[in-house]
Amino acid sequence: MARSLTQLELLMELEPIAEQNVNRHLSMAKDWHPHDYVPWDDGRNFAAMDGEDWELGQSRLSEVARAAMITNLLTEDNLPSYHREIAENFSQDGAWGTWVGRWTAEENRHGIVIRDYLVVTRGVDPVALERDRMVHMTNGYSAMSLVQQGTGNQAIRADAGFMHSVVYVTFQELATRVSHRNTGKVCNDPIADRMLQRIAADENLHMIFYRNICEAALNLSPDQALEAISNVVQNFQMPGAGMPNFRRNGVLMAKHGIYDLRQHLEEVVLPVLKKWNIMERSDFGARGEQLRNELGEFIERLRKDVVRFEEQRDKALAREAARRDSALEQPAMA
């Protein structure tokens, strides 16, 4: 059985790939400025400056759009935790250090522009948003702890830090891209849609960087990489899982097609696994073959879960529509 590489060995072997992909990213990334995506004319003072404090009627966003915007922003807000997670598992020298710094700066820009948009347009309650930010950032985040809290039964290797992190952020960046893109669609505001499409484009480039590193790791140490992939896929949770109201907001987002189980399977998990050629590779050892079989069985269970979820969602939406129709008919009947 092939020996698993240490974290240091992985970093050293993959550094040339990291350098190539940093250069690729820098050649493709487009400069943009948060202030160009915010309708500043909509802004006005709050009560502390002799203006008017927020109330729900000021928001032009639907309940679903507000939930999605808050979830997306609080996810971006926890950037210090993500930076720590990446910096601890990547080297801060050479190409790895360049990437950590560049990725952090680009992600920070996302939080800046979403918050400016929401405060200026009074899209959400800024006081509640700040309270939730404080709670979420104080709690912090650990990708490894999210996996350990998941539903899978695989043990997490003590030395899995780098491999696990790079696999996790590959799926997470793509999931975030899907969420931002679909949030823009439900905002019913071309400015918000334009802003979130811009952010989604950044997330896609980030995903490609991590996906390419994972592909190189698979070629370098197939079974070791697949162990991390299998753990992440079977236990995946979005990085905002610990934020206030995450479950409620996540249910709303899933019910209304912003990020649901089918999107997770068909737009995130399966495309990445296909890109890595997981099901067709011939270089896995005995452990890798076992992991691939387990992963295939998990995917089949997930397909069934998608069908069950959609059946339940359709019934729930039908009941809500019936209640609305009944409420509209009441005055006429009276």
173 annotated as ligand-binding? yes
63 annotated as ligand-binding? no
Nearest-angstrom CA–CA distance, 253 and 302: 19
Which runs of consecutive H residues, i.e. helices, occur in 54-125? 63-77, 79-89, 94-121
For residue 185, how many other CB atoms are within 10 A of its CB?
15
Q: What is the pTM of this model?
A: 0.89
pLDDT at position 275 is 98
203 annotated as ligand-binding? yes
107 annotated as ligand-binding? yes
pLDDT at position 82 is 77
HSE value, Cβ hemisphere, 13 Å, CA-based, for 78: 26
pLDDT at position 81 is 76
Domain residue limits, the chain: 7-322
Strands (E), 160-275: none
pLDDT at position 148 is 47
Nearest-angstrom CA–CA distance, 242 and 71: 11
pLDDT at position 93 is 81
Q: Which of 27, 7, 18 is nearest to 93 (CA)?
A: 18
130 annotated as ligand-binding? no
85 annotated as ligand-binding? no
Residues 6 or more apart whose CB falls under 8 angstroms from that of 12 comprise none
Q: Which of 94, 73, 103 is nearest to 205 (CA)?
A: 103
What is the chain's Cα-based Rg? 22
Nearest-angstrom CA–CA distance, 256 and 186: 9
pLDDT tens for the 334 residues of the chain, in order: 567 899 889 999 999 999 999 999 999 999 999 999 999 999 999 999 999 999 999 999 999 999 999 999 998 888 777 777 887 888 788 999 999 999 999 999 999 999 999 999 999 999 999 999 999 888 877 655 544 444 444 444 434 689 998 999 999 999 999 999 999 999 999 999 999 999 999 999 999 999 999 999 999 999 999 999 999 999 998 877 778 898 899 989 999 999 999 999 999 999 999 999 999 999 999 999 999 999 999 999 999 999 999 999 888 888 877 777 777 776 654 4
Token digits of residue 211: 């996906």
Q: What share of the chain is helix, strand, coil (3-state, %, to 5)?
A: 75, 0, 25
For residue 131, how many other CB atoms are within 10 A of its CB?
12
Strands (E), the chain: none
Look at the domain 7-322 and name its fold. Ribonucleotide Reductase, subunit A (1.10.620)
